[in-house]
Amino acid sequence: MPVGTQGTVKAMTPDEVKDLDYHIILGNTYHLFLRPGVELIEQCGGLHRFMGWDRAILTDSGGFQVMSLAKLRRVTDEGVEFQSHLDGTRLFLGPKEAMEIQRRLGSDIAMVLDECPPYPCAREYACQAVQRTLSWAALCARQPRADGQWVFGIVQGSVYRDLRASCAAELVKLDFDGYAIGGVSVGEGPELVAQGVADSVDQLPWDRPRYLMGVGIFSQMVDAVANGVDMFDCVLPTRLARHGTAFTRAGRVAIKSATCKAEQGPIEEDCGCYACRQFSRAYVRHLLNANEILGLRLLALHNLFRFREFVGEMRAAIRAGTFAEFRARYRDVDRITPQDEPVD
């Protein structure tokens, strides 16, 4: 799922995202609640109509901001008191409020409010976060929904295997429409990410969607799919495009670097995206270094095309019975580096 935090996938029009064959994107409850506000979006006919997107939308509950905006919030058993990062206004987001906002936005999939602990964190903190997550999930499950809206529970537990397993098992008792694995890829290494996924997914039912939140590294996605994960979202395709980085089958390429200055070939050979069909690396590099908006758009388009193609390749490998070979091919491709870690 491409990330559309503010009601838009950065640098892309809705039709461009649809042309890339994406059928669901992500929005963020916290950010849309702050700006432009749920009342305005509701007046404009709901989030789909407001942003001109007629396919599915999943809205995150704002639980990630509990961690990422730690200096601007206070967590209690009732919910989270935030100080707006925009103008300092104080606001409260609890389980009831998070579900009401998502109901009024009219998203297709709403996420329960959870507490995402940072990495590293003490076991005592992780235990407390799990208890709050479960308490809030139970309250979220009882709230009214928009017509046809699904609700997903979120597994927490930091790096503690027993906490993740017990959190997942308790969430299943609440019979959500799907389940997400949260609190991974928040600063820990790839081995701990994989372990967190395995510890969570083993307890989740096979007949419900399993969603790994915030992970967009090819090697990690392949490993997660091998463990039974179905859905992903990540800011990396568009964020790294804004920093001049292209995703390719062979790994990442810094298009802004001097080595691309005179390269007449495309961003990636044998790529079918519009940017690669029409333009050279040299031209895209020129646009990026001249701060031309088209450069960011072309690289974002390419990266989103590559991610969609990658998911399609995974599906094809599963159907063909060759997923083990596909997984081995991506084992060492695109390993995350510290400067690439998503933080928003």
Structure tokens at 55: 């396919």
- The answer to whether position 312 is within a domain reads yes
**Does residue 309 belong to any structural domain of this protein?**
yes
Q: Are residues 80 and 191 in the same domain?
A: yes
Q: Is 60 a catalytic residue?
A: yes
Q: What is the pLDDT of residue 66?
A: 73
Question: Using a CB cutoff of 8 Å and minimum separation of 24, what contacts does 163-166 make?
Answer: 163/123, 163/126, 163/127, 163/130, 164/196, 164/199, 164/200, 165/199, 165/200, 165/202, 165/203, 166/130
337 pLDDT higher than 70: no
What is this structure's pTM?
A: 0.94
Q: List, for residues 142-181, the tens digit of each pLDDT value.
A: 999 999 999 999 999 999 999 999 999 999 999 999 999 9
Rounded (10°) angle between helices 190-201 and 218-226: 30
Instruction: Tell me if 175 is assigned to some domain.
Output: yes
Looking at residue 321, its pLDDT comes to 98
Question: Does residue 218 share a domain with residue 303?
Answer: no
Q: Do 207 and 332 share a domain, yes or no?
A: no
Asked if residue 326 has pLDDT above 80, the reply is: yes
| Pair (163, 294) in one structural domain | no
Write down the catalytic residue from 114, 199, 223, 233. 233
Same domain assignment for residues 199 and 314: no
Torsion angle of alpha carbons 335, 276, 5, 35, nearest 10°?
140
Q: Based on the domain organization, do 156 and 26 belong to the same domain?
A: yes
Residues 243 and 230 grouped into a single domain: no
More confident residue, 221 or 332: 221
Q: Establish if 9 belongs to a structural domain.
A: no
Same domain membership, residue 181 and residue 112: yes
Q: Is 233 a catalytic residue?
A: yes
Domain that holds residue 271: 239-340
Whether residues 52 and 141 share a domain: the answer is yes
Last residue of a domain, one of 234, 266, 291: 234
Band of the pLDDT at 65, cuts 50, 70, 90?
Answer: confident
What is the number of structural domains in the chain? 2
Residues 33 and 153 in one domain: yes
The residue with greater pLDDT, 84 or 162, is: 162
Whether 5 maps to a domain, the answer reads: no
Same structural domain for residues 198 and 289? no
pLDDT of residue 334: 61
Q: Share the mean pLDDT of the chain.
A: 94
Q: Which tens digit of pLDDT belongs to each residue from 257-315? A: 999 999 999 999 999 999 999 999 999 999 999 999 999 999 999 999 999 999 999 99
Domain final residue pick, 234, 254, 287: 234
CA distances from 57 to 49, 51, 107, 150, 176 (A): 11, 11, 5, 11, 17
Could you read off the pLDDT of 192-215 as tens digits, one per residue? 999 999 999 999 999 999 999 999
Q: Is the pLDDT of residue 340 over 70?
A: no
Of the residues 60, 114, 199, 223, only one is catalytic, namely 60
